[in-house]
Amino acid sequence: MNIPQAQIVSQEFAQHLIAESLSQKFNLLFEKKKHQLSIESGHDWLVKIYLPWTLDWKESNGLIHNPDSHFSLVLIRAGQASTGYFHQGTLIDHKVFRAYMVRQKQGKSQIKHLKTKGKSRAGSRIRLAETLQFFEEINERLTTYANQFPINLWGISCAKTMWPFYFSSAIAPPFSSKAENLIELPYHIAQGSFEELKAAGELVQKFHLIFSEKGKKLLKEFQKEGLETSTNDDW
């Protein structure tokens, strides 16, 4: 999903914004499912801050650095996927998966084809078998991460049409679709490639801000103080 007007800011800016919000008695609510901090005034939200995955939020202490962060990303597209394990923000392990699951003439994935014409033909049966194996291999790799490392957060980018097939795989993922530490990546992923995996790994380690119309007034005040932001075109 694309989020217009999202901005990447420095940690200095984010901390200043949080401090000023506290001084003005705004409410700060942390949504663990999105690893997101919301600054609110009354019933209105002003700013939503997607926190770096190497940081945590504690109501009593505010932003704190996680000295031993472990997170994993999985990017799934029809016919291609990638998984990665990150320790303290560094990509330690990755793997790219490919499968013959797109009908060449129509450009339609086997999953979408099953909803219309079934799996009677030999080509469809082959694509279906590769699709099932595709999900199993992905989950096998993720399970290896879960068994070896204390994963704090899992990030996933996968079309909703694939979720029922992915989560019902013969080899289940090491998390449920409703797990509190499973985060749907909130920006566009074009491919399940290694390059996209690296880019996503960098993005989840930055502060991303979204301002409401009222919140934009706060932004102007901070910019007057010399705290700069930059637009993130990947959102």
Q: Is a pLDDT exceeding 70 seen at residue 3?
A: no
∠ CA(188), CA(189), CA(193), 5° rounding? 165
pTM of the predicted protein model? 0.83
The token pair at 234 is 């990947």
Q: What is the pLDDT of residues 155-209, one digit of tens each?
A: 999 999 889 989 999 999 999 999 999 999 988 899 999 999 999 999 999 999 9
Residues of the chain with pLDDT > 90, as a percent, come to 64
* 101-133: pLDDT as tens digits: 655 555 455 455 444 455 555 456 546 667 889
DSSP string, 165-224: HHHT-SS--SS-TT-TTEEE--S----SSHHHHHHHHHHTTSEEEEE-HHHHHHHHHHHH
118 in helix, strand or coil? coil
- Over residues 5-53, the pLDDT tens digits come to 688 999 999 999 999 899 989 999 999 999 999 999 988 999 999 999 9
Is 85 a residue whose pLDDT tops 70? yes
**Where do runs of H (alpha helix) occur along the chain?**
11-23, 110-114, 122-148, 163-167, 194-203, 213-224
pLDDT at 1 over 90: no
